[in-house]
Amino acid sequence: MALVINCSEDYNLATAKITAWLKRRGHTVKKIPNKGAIAHNPKESANGYDAVFLSALYTWDLPTLVEEALRALPCSKVEIGGPAASIMPDYVFEQTGIKPVIGLDNRFDSEPGRYLSTYTSRGCIRNCEFCSVPAIEGELRELAGFVPASYVLDANILACSREHIESVCEKFSCLSMVDFLHGLDARLVKSWQVELLSKKLKIPVWRFTFDSLRHEAQLKHTIDLLREYGIKPQEKIIIYCLCGFDDTPADANERARLIMSLGAHPYAMRFQPLDALVKDQYFSPGWNAKTMREFWDFCNIPTLAWLYQQIRPKR
């Protein structure tokens, strides 16, 4: 019997795939679906499993992962993987004595099944300092045989070939909605991409990123392009606004106001150091708890209210 634990709050595609992989091999599997559910798992229930698989999405979930690993270790074979362990393998090894799987695990990554989210490509053409994708996924590569799902987690799908994007549109056109959750790179948007995506897919919200004022012209160009295809920013566009990395509150506010002036909805994405073991502790020069809170409230309270209206199930 195997135990699969997702040590993060958000949906973890890896643990869903591990569960499917184990079941296909005839194992009985118990799954703890998220961090919140760990508290409801009786302490003694970690005993009696042949194998325990642990995965965390974020580095600040690693202390929970370590705790669970130490609980399971006396009785079970323990395996550790996932994005957070890939970023901090030394920490995991020091705390548990287990060498985690770094990067993608080929045993599970292409496991077929019905999942809430999917990847059609891995990696990215860029190497942004604040982002964990280059370390975890490496260079951009298109995946063959990807499985359609409503939430697409590709780091930079617009950097893929036309052939690949056409294939994604064809395969995903049957879905009631497609959400490119990690955002689209506004610097890469081309007319044929907007035409294809908007014709073939039901996209409730278009998500882009605006991490630096240097990209202002490209963002404006992208929004103009979307308007040409009838996609109104006030109805359909959310823009992630990185804050607290190498900017100041004034710089972040300027980007947010620019987004609003274009009619779109800003969403503050607070920078977290890649090795943060506690979330929301770091402040780059110029930021503090008050300015961060004010910026978050300024962007996210109205945007989340709008987003909820956009994506809530229609009655």
| DSSP secondary structure of 266-293 | EEEEE---TT-SSTT----TT--HHHHH
* Neighbour-count burial of 150, counting CB atoms closer than 10 A to its CB (0-12 exposed, 13-18 middle, 19+ buried): middle
How big is the site for ligand SF4, counted in residues (CB under 6 A)? 10
Residue reference for tokens 């190497």:
127
* Antiparallel, parallel or unpaired: β 237-243 and 206-209: parallel
Of 127 and 281, nearer to ligand SF4 (C-beta) is 127
What radius of gyration, in Å, describes the C-alpha atoms of the chain? Answer: 21
The number of residues making up the chain comes to: 315
- Minimal distance in Å, beta carbon 4 to ligand SF4? 27
Binding flag, residue 274, ligand SF4 (CB under 6 A): no
Of 155 and 160, nearer to ligand SF4 (C-beta) is 155
Listed ranges 71-79, 104-112, 119-127, 193-201: which one lies at the site for ligand SF4 (CB under 6 A): 119-127
Of 79 and 185, nearer to ligand SF4 (C-beta) is 185
* Residue 149 backbone phi and psi in degrees, to 5: -155, 160
Report yes or no: 165 and 193 within 8 Å, Cβ to Cβ.
Answer: yes
Binding flag, residue 126, ligand SF4 (CB under 6 A): yes
- Which of positions 241-270 make contact with ligand SF4 (CB under 6 A)? none
Binding flag, residue 96, ligand SF4 (CB under 6 A): no
Binding flag, residue 89, ligand SF4 (CB under 6 A): no
Residue type for 16, please? A
x-or-dash string of contact with ligand SF4, 163-202, rule CB under 6 A: ----------------------x-----------------
Among residues 51, 73, 102, 131, the one that binds ligand SF4 under rule CB under 6 A: 131
Among residues 2, 46, 133, 258, the one that binds ligand SF4 under rule CB under 6 A: 133
Torsion angle defined by CA atoms of residues 260, 303, 274 and 214, in that order, rounded to the nearest 10 degrees: -10
Which chain residues interact with ligand SF4 by CB under 6 A?
124, 126-128, 131, 133-134, 155-156, 185
